[in-house]
Structure 1
Amino acid sequence: MVCCIISYLRTLNIFQSNNTDNEDQHEIENNLIATRVYLIVLILTFISLTFSLSLITQTTKVTLRYPTVEQVKTLPLDLQCPCSRLSIIYGTFITLEARFHQICSSDFISERWIKAIYSGRNSTHFYQGDFRGIGSAQFQVLASLCQLSQNNVEDGLSSFYDTSLINSQMLFEDLLKATIQVSIQQFNTTVPVTFKSQLDLINKLIFGNQLISGLRTTLDVEYINNGESNIFANYLFYGNSNITENKCVTDYNIGVLSGIYNISNNETTILFHIPGFLSGCMPINSLLQSTLECFYNQTCIDKLLSYLSTNETFQAMNETKQTLFPSKFTIQSIINDIMVEEWISNISYEKYFNQCAPISCTYSQIQRHDSIYILIGIISLVGGITLILGISIPIIIQFIRKPKIKEIKSKPKISCKIEL
């Protein structure tokens, strides 16, 4: 069978002349060669066309009705999904939580602590830098600052949750989270600045109106009865020198290291210094300049309590706990960040998608042509290809294999004439 096919191909001549009687051997050979070249070129052309047509891609628009969030996550990035709602409120798909400094959840702003360090009526009898005279008021201020910061965060979150995301097209998850993170960052910057501005305004009003503390930390008031009732009030000095700049009249922010002092024979001696904690003209001003390093140290707390008339015990804060504010940071530094250690955000893409509620999505799909398209393309080209090859190949073969014509030049004849 194979031998028959090979024999048939060897003798196949599709360019055979109709008048076979006039064909010479050279022309027959040309036609056989042209036939073989024609078949080889035709086969290679069909293979090339098939390969080329299979590589050609087409782009089509696909519309998906009522897509699900799982489908959307797998679709191309050119996906277009118009939202049913133009405006989506942040609170419907975002939760934002503030983790406050641990002082705001500790015993040191509790009523139990404030009562334990309160000296009652004796508060005004201590030296101006004595913790027993001003400490209770300072921690009441600290408790109020924690409460105010929490209130400001809650008010800020309420406004933030009412903010709307306006977009006619559905956003992909990565783009949505990047967009919301920018808004969260702006919120995290705005709320502390607003809180600090309000606190600065209160301090300026207190100093501007020369309001004084009832703990005798601003003025030294003396009542002298020498036949006439006379009251003398002098601004207290703070610091080591009695210069005017150290008087509360010039600045409420001056102060001394807070601790336990002993007054004997008009002499004041220090019994215990509270590391980083200050006393000054006003409880709030000296508190903001203080640090909380003593209250991270159990030994320091126990030492302080030993000078107070209380049997209560209190646990020190955890210094190893992850924090943005080391123990030697001032309370003012903590206030500048509204006492927030960390903002914890949760953006639910599923909730956002449900609020967007796209009815349909359109995307581009790129795909190669199927076998039917390739077959139709080849069939549409086969007529022209066979015609061109059928005309050109025999002509080329004949041109290449043109027979060589040998011209025989006759030699001149020599004639000899012999005369007798």
Structure 2
Amino acid sequence: MLKAQQIQTDYSDTAQCPCAKISIPLDRFINIQPTFHQICSSVFVTDEWRNELTANLSNMSYYVQIGDYRAFISAHLQFVSGLCQQSIVQVNDAVRSFMSTSLVTGQLLSQTTFYTRLENLLSRARTNAPTIFVRAFQLARDINHGNGLMSVYGSNFEFVTRRNPPAVVSTLLIQSKIYNETTNCLCAQGSKCLNPAMFTSPTHVEIKGLHIGCLPSESLLASTFECFYDSNCIDLIRNHMFGNKNRTLALPLNDSNVFNSNYNPNTTINNIASELFIEDWSMKAHYDRYFTECTPTNCFYSYTERANPFYVATTLLGLYGGLTVVLRWWSPRLVKLGRQVQIYYMRKRRNNIIPVTT
């Protein structure tokens, strides 16, 4: 392997080392370890923490009516957990699919070309991985809104009764809920109507980064994880819930990791989910394993060598010596031939008869 690498380094333009095996499965020489957003490995997506937080929560319809976040928090936590789980499944499937493909190379690749080729392939796989998930997810959201399905939380539509006297029988109607007093956004017209999330009882306290709206899923996607980076915000949630506040320790997300993260605390959950919560695909490639699979038996190369003065002098001397031998053989014969030609013409001149007229 070292000899082949040296040849490729010294004669990079012309070196050719044919592979005995031109199609090599990627899993023979690379390992991939995906890393996900830290929310997916935090206590906030566990059933234990969610169940303890909402253990004594009741009268949900009341909290829906007054727009209190207590009506949404359980659904939001379940949805985040589901998004994380589905993202992990999708990414692992993408990794398995990528590893099952083959690297096709007729010639042994140099180390630089080898790593560059793999990085390009992995980058393409990472870009394509969310595509299927995002399309299916968006289709489900569109169908849900298009069918006008009423949320079990009653957050998009509500029942109202009307009675027109003197009639005794009341009419039960379904009425669209309105969010955002400034724009009067109707859930019947769109599922993305939002209000800032807040606890409204006993006092109004806004929760940073979080929203409520027509559907818990849509309001969560428009939210951020800012609150989960802030211990004061987490304490605010715990203090307004009625569950056991002391059993499960809920540490805030590590904001020091933000500098190495693809996402800021104020990145919307929709954008993070669209990237399948991926932080990084760590790839470890082994060139020595690739070389073993390629198994080149021979390497061919060509080069142009510039003649040195010694070589030039030797060549000229050799040429001079060759000319000497040739001339030594031909010179006597050329002289002899010249004399014969001269004698021939002299004899011919003597035999000429010149007539004289008297």
TM-score of Structure 1 vs Structure 2, range by shorter chain: 0.7 to 0.9
CA contact (8 A) 1:259 1:270 kept: no
CA distance in 2, matches of 1:117, 1:216: 22
Q: Does 1:74 align with 2:6?
A: yes
Matches within 5 A, 1:173-188: 173-188=111-126
User: Which whole-Å deviations, capped at 9, do the CAs of 1:312-357 have from their partners, x for residues lacking one?
Assistant: 3411001121212111111112122221112212222111111111
Q: Secondary structure at the match of 2:217?
A: helix
One-letter code aligned to 2:143: L
What is the match of residue 364 of structure 1?
A: 302
What is the match of residue 323 of structure 1?
A: 261
* TM-score (ref. length: structure 2): 0.78
User: Which whole-Å deviations, capped at 9, do the CAs of 1:54-104 have from their partners, x for residues lacking one?
Assistant: xxxxxxxxxxxxxxx222221132221111112111222222222111111
CA contact (8 A) 1:117 1:135 kept: no
CA distance in 2, matches of 1:383, 1:205: 94
User: Which whole-Å deviations, capped at 9, do the CAs of 1:262-309 have from their partners, x for residues lacking one?
Assistant: 2xxxxxx75321101001111110000001111101011112211111
One-letter code aligned to 1:261: T
Flag structure 2 segments of 5+ consecutive residues without an equivalent.
328-358
What is the match of residue 61 of structure 2?
A: 124
* TM-score (ref. length: structure 1): 0.67
Q: Does 1:311 align with 2:245?
A: yes
RMSD of aligned Cα (Å): 3.0
One-letter code aligned to 2:297: I
Indicate the larger mover: 366-375 or 324-333.
366-375
User: Which whole-Å deviations, capped at 9, do the CAs of 1:156-204 have from their partners, x for residues lacking one?
Assistant: 1111112222222221111122222221121121112332222111111
CA distance in 2, matches of 1:383, 1:285: 94
CA contact (8 A) 1:212 1:218 kept: yes
- Find 2:178's aligned residue among 221, 228, 237: 237
Q: Does 1:254 align with 2:193?
A: yes
Q: Structure 1's 125 and 224: CA in aligned 2 closer, same or farther, altered over 3 A?
A: farther
CA contact (8 A) 2:91 2:129 kept: yes
- Find 1:274's aligned residue among 203, 207, 211: 207
Equivalent residue pairs, number: 312
What is the match of residue 108 of structure 1?
A: 44
- Find 1:220's aligned residue among 132, 150, 158: 158
**If you compute each CA radius of gyration, which structure gives the higher value, 1 or 2?**
1
- Find 2:100's aligned residue among 162, 176, 181: 162
Q: CA deviation at 1:252?
A: 0.9
Identity of aligned residues (%): 26
Q: Structure 1's 229 and 116: CA in aligned 2 closer, same or farther, altered over 3 A?
A: farther
CA contact (8 A) 1:223 1:232 kept: yes
CA distance in 2, matches of 1:115, 1:227: 44
Q: Structure 1's 382 and 99: CA in aligned 2 closer, same or farther, altered over 3 A?
A: same
CA distance in 1, matches of 2:299, 2:256: 51
CA distance in 2, matches of 1:301, 1:86: 56
What is the match of residue 98 of structure 1?
A: 34
CA distance in 2, matches of 1:151, 1:223: 46
